[in-house]
Amino acid sequence: MVVASEFVFPTSFAQKRFWFLHQLNPDSSLYNVPIALELRGPLDTTVLSKAFEAIIERHEPLRTIFRLEDGELVQIVAEDVHPESQMEIVDLKDFSFDEADRRARDSIAKEVARPFNLSHGPVVRGRLMRLTSSRHYLLIMMHHIVADVQSCGVLLRELSAICQALHEGREFGLAPLELQYGDYAVWQRDTVNSERFEKCLAYWRNQLRPPIPILSLPYDRPRPSVQSFNGASLTLMVPDAVSAALIELCRRRRVTLFAAALAAYTVLLHRQTGQIDLLIGTPIANRSLHQLEPLIGLFLNTVVLRTKLDPEQPFAGEGEEHHDDERREQSEQPPRQIGQQIAVALQRAAEHVAAQRDKEDHRCRRIERKQQRVHGSKRRIVGEHAHPVVHAHQQRREATQAFQPRVE
């Protein structure tokens, strides 16, 4: 009896899109997904390495490569962990702390900028840098084609649980996964044959019908002919009084905080550009099926919201209009299917628009806003305090507004 060492599945539509972007610039690190943490306290590196390998064994996307077979892109899942995916241990404790810290941060910057080879793998890498016996930097790199932001949370939760179990000498205790990403990709392909999908597709094609507006922000220099993706972040803390007033406004007007923040961002863009027809992208988790919640994979999708402002309308009315748009989009479909149906239809509609645009003219997603909950920055891995490490990054959009209500 011959046991297969790899399994072949179709790719999801999102994976197909990222593959195409990777082929345009295979040496780019733009779609690398880094997790960089500083670990404080004693650390068993052997336990951490074993836990990392166990996660790769548990989640098929982390053992996947991508190739064209008979002109069709497929994902190939290996049974075994790629040798280059095993945790690399870098010992810097013989240097002074300042020198070890400098070398570790340089190493993180270089690794974050190192591209992946999607055809040969691996699609995930791990590196642990030991500064002292009680200070470490942990860097885990994944390509976006196999992971999204929620996947990072899944990985860290499971890494912590497995480390704790190994440390205590017991079974991991993680519930078996009902599905793998390949199952999702097959299901998604079947979805496009439904009548409901065609209705979704018609809606999004109408939303993205030409002419597609180009946002003209008042930059202090001309836009380059080829996008460099060099960018920076600016953090602004909203005062408690302003936050409380915004929440109270949402309560009185019966709108979500998302709709109110989106309305404010839309008005800001209008004031800066004078434009009334605006396209704003907003990411959605796209995990409406409970079986998808514990998976590592690429589910995230960007919904393009097209807003036509009425300059005479008060701000409160703008927020209510965004809230009404949310309800209209969700009222026609069963709750468990809405996210998946919309995501697939939007991807197809975006492909239709993309076929009519220049390589550097990403009209549909130049501006983005996102909202996510922040539960604090500390996490425990085998009893260690983990703190995020700030590192250089690239911007995929000309402007991104991230609105993060803090949850204590």
Q: Using 50, 70 and 90 to split pLDDT, how confident is the model at 52? A: very high
161 assigned to some structural domain: yes
pLDDT at 339 over 60: no
- Is residue 371 a part of any domain in this protein? yes
End residue of a domain, out of 168, 198, 227? 168
Per-residue pLDDT band for 383 (boundaries 50, 70, 90) equals low
Please state the rounded mean pLDDT for residues 176-182: 96
Residue 173 lies in a domain: no
Q: Is the Cβ–Cβ distance between 398 and 215 less than 8 Å?
A: yes
Cα distances (angstroms) measured from residue 138 to each of 80, 131, 152, 176, 405: 23, 11, 13, 27, 27
Question: What letter does residue 58 receive in the DSSP assignment?
Answer: H
Helix (H) or strand (E) holding 183: helix 181-191
Contact, 138 vs 43, CB < 8 A? no
Do 161 and 194 lie in one domain? The reply is no
Say whether both 234 and 361 belong to one domain. Answer: yes
**Neighbouring C-alpha atoms within 13 Å toward the C-beta of 293:** 8
Q: Is the pLDDT of residue 233 over 80?
A: no
Under 8 Å between Cβ of 213 and 277: yes
User: Rounded to two decimals, what is the model's pTM?
Assistant: 0.82
| Whether residue 268 is found in the same domain as residue 352 | yes
Residue 181 placed within a domain: no
Where does a domain end: 168, 201, 227?
A: 168
For residue 266, the domain's CATH number is 3.30.559.30
Q: What CATH number is attached to the domain comprising 43? A: 3.30.559.10
Query: What is the identity of the amino acid at 110?
Result: K
Instruction: Note whether residue 359 is domain-resident.
Output: yes
Based on the domain organization, do 164 and 213 belong to the same domain?
no
DSSP 131-174: EETTEEEEEEEEETTT--HHHHHHHHHHHHHHHHHHHHTS---P
Query: What's 193-241 look like in SS3?
Result: CCHHHHHHHHHHHHHCCCCCCCCCCCCCCCCCCCCCCECCCCCCCCCHH
Is beta strand 124-132 parallel, antiparallel or unpaired with respect to 88-91?
Answer: parallel
In this structure, the answer to whether residues 71 and 157 fall within a common structural domain is yes
- Give yes or no: residues 128 and 257 share one domain: no
Amino acid at 376: G
Task: Tell me the average pLDDT across 13-25.
Answer: 93
Structurally, the chain folds into a number of domains equal to 2
CB 95 within 8 A of CB 103: yes
In a domain, 390, yes or no: no
**Angle formed by the axes of helices 181-191 and 335-354, nearest 10°:** 70
What would the mean pLDDT of 310-315 be, rounded to a whole number? 74
Angle at 11 (CA atoms; ends 30, 56), nearest 5 degrees: 70
Q: Are 370 and 283 in contact (CB under 8 A)?
A: yes
Determine, yes or no, domain membership for 267. yes
Instruction: Using the predicted structure, report yes or no on whether residue 405 has a pLDDT greater than 80.
Output: no
> Burial code of 198-227, b = ≥16 C-beta within 10 A, e = fewer?
eebbebbbeebeeebbebeeeeeeeeeeeb
Residue 183 within a domain: no
Q: Same structural domain for residues 123 and 82?
A: yes
Gap between the Cα atoms of 18 and 304, Å rounded = 17
Higher pLDDT, 376 or 167: 167
Stretch 301-328: mean pLDDT: 68
77 and 17 part of one domain: yes
Q: Which domain holds residue 285?
A: 190-375+396-403
209 vs 125, which has greater pLDDT? 125
User: Which of 370, 326, 368 lies closest to 149 in space, CA to CA?
Assistant: 370
Lowest mean pLDDT among 131-145, 278-292, 367-381: 367-381
Degrees, nearest 5: CA angle 73-74-75? 135
**Comparing 369 with 121, which gets the higher pLDDT?**
121
- What confidence category does residue 117 fall into, taking pLDDT thresholds of 50, 70 and 90? very high
The reply to whether 265 and 125 lie within a common domain is no
Same domain membership, residue 210 and residue 125 = no
Question: Domain check: are 151 and 253 in the same one?
Answer: no
Which of 168, 203, 237 terminates a domain? The answer is: 168
Separation of alpha carbons 402 and 237, rounded Å: 11
- Same structural domain, 148 and 201: no
